[in-house]
Amino acid sequence: MKRILYTIIAIFSGLACLHAQDPHFSQYQHTPLWVSPALTGQIAGDMRLTANYRNQWSSVTVPFQTVALSYDMRIPKYFGKSCSYFGGGLFLLNDQAGDSEFRTTIAQLALSYHQSMSNKGKPSYLSLGLMVGGGQMGFNPDKLYFDNQYNGEGFDTGLSSGVQ
């Protein structure tokens, strides 16, 4: 039993490490679907459209640029006296970093459910969210210099990089 538990912990520990380099925004409250899928549809109106742009380190040769778009909406559904509702949305992100043109592209669909916890005064909600989607990461190795391309005086891009 302990072996199974340790195996499960090891698997989930490894998965948590995979998300360490996600693109980020300093004003994260303006990217609610990127923060948590449970925030999908949690708005004062019926729908929300957000667009974010980040240009970081503009003094380097190729600055880091991140663009994110999201759309989400409330889907009201009333159960008895409590006001509970669903939310649905779409999140898109494109991040390009540095000379290697390292690019991350993400598209995700979000669904949430908000259960009202109070009938009087300021409303409180218990929210549950789910986000599914896919992404792609890649870079251009032709834009980089490697040790094998140093000829003693400088970098010669005509030499093989040794990268396959």
Across the beta sheet with 82-97, what order do the strands follow? 47-56, 64-79, 82-97, 102-116, 125-138
Domain segments of the chain as ranges: 36-138
pLDDT at 68: 93
Judge contact between 162 and 148, C-beta under 8 A.
Answer: yes
pLDDT tens digit string along 32-52?
Answer: 888 899 999 998 888 999 999
The pLDDT, as a whole number, for residue 12 is 66
For the chain, which ranges sit under pLDDT 50?
Answer: 16-20
pLDDT at 30: 83
pLDDT of residue 82: 58
Three-state secondary structure of the chain: CHHHHHHHHHHHHHHHHCCCCCCCCCCHHHCHHHHCHHHCCCCCCCEEEEEEEEEECCCCCCCEEEEEEEEEEEEEEEECCEEEEEEEEEEEEEEEECCCCEEEEEEEEEEEEEEECCCCCCCCEEEEEEEEEEEEEECCHHHCCCHHHECCCCECCCCCCCCC
Is 0.75 topped by the overall pTM? no
Q: What is the pLDDT of residue 79?
A: 56
Other beta carbons less than 10 A from residue 41's beta carbon: 27
pLDDT at residue 14 in the model = 56
Query: What does the pLDDT read at residue 60?
Result: 76
